[in-house]
Amino acid sequence: MNNLKGALEALLFVSDEPVSGAKLAEVLDASSGDIDSVLVELAEEYREQNRGFQLREVAGGWRLFTHPAYHELIESYVLSWDTRRLSQAALEALAVIAYHQPVTRNGVNAIRGVNSEGVISSLVEKGLIRESGRDKNQGNAILYVTTRTFLEKFGLKDLHDLPPLEDFAPDDATQQVIKHRLGVEDEHQDTLEDIDVAEYDATTIDFDEEIVEVD
């Protein structure tokens, strides 16, 4: 039974979406009854021990979640951790897209005042932004929007939880640069009304990959 618990924990740990008991039983070559019993037992153990994570049955499957009591701590950590790993150029481009989406590459260039092709490609590769269509008024230029991964990594419930623009920056100097170049306050709200967050991709992001700053 202990080996089964360990195997279930390992599988759930690497799963980014709910996994059904039947699928887990198939993978572990065990009966569905045994799997369901151990899953319920694990969930109860985590609850009784007040662990930093929980095992919940959602959307027809089982998934590990962080404990709600630590959500504010996690949000603060994720935001600071992510921004330290993004260059100033990437932060500027990401802020432009987040507050002006959908926006074309030329739109980002116009606001930043520099060529943003390199940083936009990096942001796409890291799953923070994605293509969302074409702008027929600009020669079918690609339109970019932020992704669900962007929301997850920056600890945001939805786009209306976007922080002040300068919060994208890791230090005071970068904050001032972003505020100066973007010059945007609250007018982004009208644009965000038309964005369907539910359609965003849940692409995995690897922040350990170096971002090359292009300016």
CATH number assigned to the domain covering 2-66: 1.10.10.10
pLDDT for the residue 167: 61
Outline where DSSP puts E strands in the chain.
53-58, 61-66, 103-104, 129-135, 141-146
With beta carbons less than 8 A apart as the criterion, state whether 147 and 130 touch: yes
pLDDT for the residue 1: 55
d(CA 74, CA 161): 16
Each domain of the chain, given as residue ranges in start order, spans 2-66, 87-199
pLDDT for the residue 169: 56
**Among candidate residues 67, 64, 62, the one with its CA nearest the CA of residue 18:** 62
d(CA 57, CA 41): 12
DSSP 148-159: HHHHHHTT-SSG
Give me 25's structure tokens.
């039983």
pLDDT for the residue 191: 44
pLDDT tens by residue, the chain, 215 residues: 558 999 999 999 888 788 999 999 999 999 999 999 999 999 999 999 999 999 999 878 898 988 889 888 877 766 555 555 677 788 888 888 998 889 999 888 888 888 888 899 889 988 899 999 998 888 889 999 999 888 877 777 788 877 766 565 556 665 666 666 555 444 444 444 444 444 444 333 333 333 333 33
d(CA 119, CA 92): 9
pLDDT for the residue 41: 95
CATH pick for 87-199 out of 3.40.50.620, 1.10.10.10, 3.60.15.10, 3.40.190.10: 1.10.10.10
